[in-house]
Amino acid sequence: MINNFEAMLFDHKDDDFYLGEGYFPLEKTPEKFLFNFKYLLNMATKGKLKAFKVGDIWYTSEVWINEHKKNIINLIDHEIGQSRESLKRLQKWVRRLK
């Protein structure tokens, strides 16, 4: 049973509980995000995805999932940039064999 504090926070929609506008349970993450529940739960518990827990249910928002996607893209771009820089430094010291 939901306690009084939780009842004040929630709006009742379509037999599910949603925390205000824009928040939804991780279990009901729209398919358009291409992340599954286990991945999102793992990222939320590690603090890599903004989310919060009410009772036993984790909640996030579309904005927070999009921020997570941007962080992934930035991390990949950074790693690619580091690899290119390393390759440039290595090429200064390595000569091709003829």
pLDDT digits (tens, 9 = 90+) for 57-98: 999 999 999 999 999 999 998 888 888 887 777 676 666 666
What are the boundaries of each domain within the chain? 4-93
Its pTM stands at: 0.66
Instruction: From 38, 37, 20, 41, select the one nearest 28 (Cα to Cα).
Output: 37
- The amino acid that residue 14 corresponds to is D
Name the β-bridge partners of 12: 17
22: left (phi > 0), else alpha (psi -120 to 50), else beta? left
Please give the average per-residue pLDDT across 35-40, as a whole number. Answer: 92
> Residues 41-46: what's their mean pLDDT?
96
Taken in order 38, 41, 47, 50, the sign of the CA dihedral is: positive
Q: Residue 87 is encoded by which pair of tokens?
A: 């390759």
Q: Which pLDDT score is estimated for 20?
A: 61
Percent of the chain with pLDDT over 70: 69
Q: Is pLDDT larger for residue 11 or for residue 63?
A: 63
Please state, in angstroms and rounded to a whole number, the distance separating the CA atoms of residues 69 and 88: 29
